[in-house]
Structure formats: structure tokens, C-alpha cells
Amino acid sequence: MASAYYFDSTTYWSAGDEDSHFRWLDAIGCVQAVRGQGRRLFLEIEKEQVSDEDLQELKAVYRRYGGDLSQLDGLRAGHEG
């Protein structure tokens, strides 16, 4: 089953840009796994572990790399978004 959290057809401007995206995702505590499938990059997010800081970082990385912020709406339980 595909994750509800993904980036679609992300454009990277250099190898370092792509590396930075993956390192940023890896640094977010609630992100359990990141995997590519075709032109999508899927995230496995542990919803029960999303902290305020995690949510802020997820929103920032989604903005930076063109993710659909509406995917994060389900993570708002107990958080102001």
C-alpha cells in the first residue's frame, strides 16, 4: 500500500540538493522510512510520534521541495498548524 505522504516528481538542482532533501527527512523524528517508487518519494510517518517540531520541519521540507501540504492535515491532532 502506498503512503499518503509523498513528493511527486521533485526537481533537484544538484546532487547536493537531492542529498539535502534526504538528510532533512532522515533528521525528522517521526519519519520512519523514505522510499522511491517511480517519480514519487514516499514517507512512512509514525503519526503518534509527531511532535510540534516534527510538524514544523515537515511543513518546511514540503514547502521547499514542492510537496502537497494538504497531506499533512491528518497530522494536526493535538497541534496547531
Angle at 53 between CA 49 and CA 55, to 5 degrees: 70
Within-domain flag for 79: no
CA of 72: how far to CAs of 4, 17, 26, 67, 75, in Å? 9, 23, 17, 10, 5
Angle at 57 between CA 19 and CA 47, to 5 degrees: 105
| Range of the structural domain that residue 47 is part of | 5-73
Number of domains in the chain: 1
Q: Quick check: is 80 in a domain?
A: no
With respect to residue 78, please indicate whether it lies within any of the assigned structural domains: no
d(CA 74, CA 77): 7
In a domain, 45, yes or no: yes
Q: What is the pLDDT along the chain (81 residues), one digit of tens a residue?
A: 568 999 999 999 999 999 999 999 999 999 999 999 989 999 999 999 999 999 999 999 999 999 999 999 988 654 444
